[in-house]
């Protein structure tokens, strides 16, 4: 029987004197002649388990064969630790070396730069930061499902391969079996051009208009040739979509969700968040506590432009109404002006996707973005155009092919209803919750322009 390190370290004193078997990877070995210390980690917690073996034990001779990174099994008794770093430790009775680790194991030092760790993505999870990110990420996924399931949203699966460019931004990866790309797409596998999806939204809308409340959690793909700390070519998006609701409901659901995530991290991932607070972003706990406790600022795009125009800050992209907010503007609003998450609503229709519902002013659409300090946009959503004629003219005006969207237009003819939804960039959310600066460090194996290793 295998006992996880987390279980031992979080146990009460009833575990004392119990005989257990632990498996993990060696973090440190210290040979003190009359006894030796081995610290191992199995990924279940930030803290390692310390094992102590006496030189009189016949397995003591194995110590010299154990190097950092090796996988081993320790058997023994849980005892109170005299050291101040841990409550319990293991009095080792038996050591089994499972897999030796070569001397050139790349994680010898205590701290490595994130840049370096990206070159060894296959070993990153064995570092303190890599492990903490992995645990927080998993917890946020579990609780995302819980958040929506508790609200009776149904989890649906939308296709990865699609013929439509939902966002109309042209950042599509093509899917083809043609060896000569100049050939007519009619000769291709799907008899038309196909792509990797940029968002499951359009398909999710079909299910919202039938199941009422649904959500998708899926990989999405964007061929954005950007090398920023917040863009990936393959990332996960969480997309709730609901019928009989408007933009106001959308803003409320998204804000509640983000707050819930911050609360989950503080309550369920205490040790890892304390680690990020200490080594990654000083003041993280306080920031997350503020996210939970204080309401998000909600402002219109037009008001956001006024604030930016009044600021004395020099922006690379000059501010005027109609401009698509750039990262520098988003960050000014949330980092310097409001100093908390900001929901910007009612954007000019020219800069937003075709499916968003027109506002009465004729100039803006019922869109919303949630902006947060250091990252900028983490959520993008809207109320959807539910009127057949209006939607049809929007598709035409954006120069899109009506045939591709026929099924989508159908939804407006067979029991249309006001509906809305949003997409959370899951990696950006993990950055926001952990304080990690680069999006490449919050996904196990990152895909970005020029990087498709591992």
- How far apart are alpha carbons 119 and 441 in whole angstroms? 11
Tokens of 399: 């120069």
> What distance in Å separates the CA atoms of residue 439 and residue 430, rounded to the nearest whole number?
8
The secondary element (H helix, E strand) that includes residue 136 is helix 128-150
Q: Taking the CA atoms of the chain, what radius of gyration do you get in angstroms?
A: 26
- Determine the interface stretch with Mg ion among 6-14, 83-91, 185-193, 380-388 (rule: CB under 5 A): 380-388
Task: Report, in Å, the least distance between residue 391 CB and ligand 4AD.
Answer: 15
Instruction: Work out how close the CB of 369 gets to Mg ion at its nearest, in angstroms, rounded to a whole number.
Output: 6
Residue 373 interface partner, choices ligand 4AD, Mg ion, none, CB cut-off 5-8 Å depending on type: none
Min dist CB 97 to ligand 4AD, Å, is 42
199 binds, among Mg ion, ligand 4AD, none (CB under 5 to 8 A by kind): ligand 4AD
Q: Report what 74 binds from Mg ion, ligand 4AD, none; CB cut-off 5-8 Å by kind.
A: none
Residue (166 or 416) nearer to ligand 4AD, CB:
166
Distance CA 416, CA 430 (A): 35
Closer CB to ligand 4AD, 135 or 428, in the complex: 428
Task: Name which of 380 and 421 has its Cβ closer to Mg ion.
Answer: 380
> Which is closer to ligand 4AD, CB of 69 or CB of 240?
240
d(CA 30, CA 15) in angstroms, rounded, equals: 25
Q: Is 32 helix (H, G, I), strand (E, B) or coil?
A: coil
CB of 424 to Mg ion, least distance (A): 11
Compute the least distance from the CB of residue 30 to ligand 4AD, in Å: 42
From the list ligand 4AD, Mg ion, none, partner contacted by residue 422 (C-beta under 5 to 8 A by kind) = ligand 4AD
Smallest separation (angstroms) from ligand 4AD to the CB of 423:
3
- Helices and strands in the chain: count of H runs, count of E runs: 12, 16
Segment interacting with Mg ion, rule: CB under 5 A, options 206-214, 327-335, 374-382, 385-393? 374-382
Least distance to Mg ion, CB of residue 427, Å: 14
201 binds, among ligand 4AD, Mg ion, none (CB under 5 to 8 A by kind): ligand 4AD
H runs (alpha helix) in 212-246? none
Q: Which is nearer to ligand 4AD, 232 or 284 (CB)?
A: 232
DSSP 294-318: SPPEEEEHHHHHHHHHHS-PPPSS-
**Where does this chain touch Mg ion (CB under 5 A) — which range of 97-105, 108-116, 300-308, 373-381?**
373-381
Among 274, 236, 280, 283, residue whose Cα is nearest residue 45 = 274
Nearer to ligand 4AD, 201 or 255 (CB): 201
Distance between CA atoms of residues 74 and 51, nearest Å: 8
In the complex with Mg ion, the residue whose CB is nearer, 47 or 356, is: 356
Q: Indicate the DSSP class of residue 175.
A: E
Which residue number, 200 or 380, has a Cβ lying nearer to Mg ion? 380
Q: How far is CA 270 from CA 8, 169, 239, 294, in A?
A: 17, 39, 27, 20
Q: How many CB atoms lie within 10 A of CB 127?
A: 18
The footprint of Mg ion on residues 152-181 (CB under 5 A) is: none
43: tokens are: 């990924």
Binding site for ligand 4AD (CB under 6 A): 166-167, 199, 201, 222, 224, 231-232, 235, 237, 239, 377-381, 421-423, 425, 427-428
Cβ distance to ligand 4AD smaller for residue 41 or 201: 201
Which DSSP helix (H) or strand (E) runs through 354? none
The yes or no reply on residue 421 touching Mg ion (CB under 5 A) is no
Backbone angles phi, psi at 108, to 5 degrees: -80, -40
Kindly state the smallest distance separating residue 332's Cβ from Mg ion, in Å: 18
Shortest Cβ 265–ligand 4AD spacing (Å): 17
Minimum Å gap between C-beta 57 and ligand 4AD is 52
Residue 25 vs 207, nearer CB to ligand 4AD: 207
For residue 245 the two structure tokens come to 């609701």
Q: Which of 273, 185, 154, 214 is nearest to 419 (CA)?
A: 214
- Least separation in angstroms between CB 263 and Mg ion: 25
The whole-angstrom separation of Cα 173 and Cα 220 is 10
Residue with smaller CB distance to ligand 4AD, 131 or 381: 381
Report yes or no: 449 and 224 within 8 Å, Cβ to Cβ: yes
Which of residues 240, 380, 418, 421 is near Mg ion by CB under 5 A?
Answer: 380
Round to whole Å and give the CA distance between 254 and 125. 30
Give 417's DSSP letter.
-
> Burial level of 275, CB count in 10 A (0-12/13-18/19+)?
buried
- Site residues for Mg ion per CB under 5 A: 380
């Amino acid at each position: 029987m295998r006992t996880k390190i987390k279980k031992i370290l979080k146990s009460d004193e009833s575990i004392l004197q119990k005989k257990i078997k632990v498996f993990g990877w060696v973090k440190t070995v210290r040979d003190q002649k009359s006894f030796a210390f081995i610290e191992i980690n199995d990924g279940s917690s930030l803290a390692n388990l310390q094992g102590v073996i006496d030189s009189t034990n016949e397995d003591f001779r194995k110590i010299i064969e154990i190097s950092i990174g090796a996988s081993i099994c320790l058997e023994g008794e849980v005892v109170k630790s005299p050291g101040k770093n841990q409550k319990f430790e293991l009095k080792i009775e038996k050591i089994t070396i499972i897999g030796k680790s070569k001397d050139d194991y790349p994680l010898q030092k205590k701290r490595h730069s994130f840049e370096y760790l990206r070159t060894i993505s296959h070993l990153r999870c064995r570092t303190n930061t890599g492990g903490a990110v992995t645990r927080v990420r998993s917890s946020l996924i579990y609780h995302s499902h819980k958040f929506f399931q508790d609200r009776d949203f149904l989890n649906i699966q939308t296709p990865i391969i699609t013929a439509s460019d939902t966002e109309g931004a042209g950042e599509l990866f093509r899917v083809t079996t043609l060896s000569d790309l100049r050939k007519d797409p009619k000769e291709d596998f799907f008899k038309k051009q196909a792509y990797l999806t940029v968002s499951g939204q359009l398909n999710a809308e079909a299910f919202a208009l039938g199941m009422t409340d649904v959500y998708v959690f899926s990989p999405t793909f964007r061929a954005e040739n950007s090398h920023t700390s917040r863009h990936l070519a393959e990332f996960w998006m969480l997309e709730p979509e609901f019928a009989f609701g408007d933009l106001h409901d959308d803003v409320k659901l998204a804000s509640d969700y983000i707050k819930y995530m911050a609360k989950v991290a503080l309550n369920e991932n205490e040790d890892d968040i304390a680690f990020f607070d200490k080594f990654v972003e000083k003041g993280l706990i306080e920031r997350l506590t503020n996210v939970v406790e204080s309401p998000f600022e909600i402002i219109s795009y037009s008001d956001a432009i006024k604030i930016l125009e009044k600021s004395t800050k020099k922006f690379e992209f000059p501010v005027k109404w109609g401009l698509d907010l750039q990262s520098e503007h988003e960050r000014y609003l949330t980092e310097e002006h409001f100093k908390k998450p900001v929901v910007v609503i009612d954007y000019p229709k020219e800069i937003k996707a075709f499916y968003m519902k027109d506002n009465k002013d004729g100039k803006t659409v019922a869109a919303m973005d949630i902006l947060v300090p250091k990252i900028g946009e983490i959520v993008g959503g809207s109320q959807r155009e539910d009127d057949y004629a209006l939607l049809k003219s929007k598709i035409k005006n954006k120069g899109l092919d009506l045939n591709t969207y026929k099924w989508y237009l159908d939804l407006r003819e067979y029991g249309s209803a006001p509906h809305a939804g949003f997409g959370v960039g899951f990696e950006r959310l993990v950055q926001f919750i952990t304080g990690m600066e680069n999006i490449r460090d919050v996904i196990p194996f990152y895909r970005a322009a020029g990087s498709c290793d591992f």
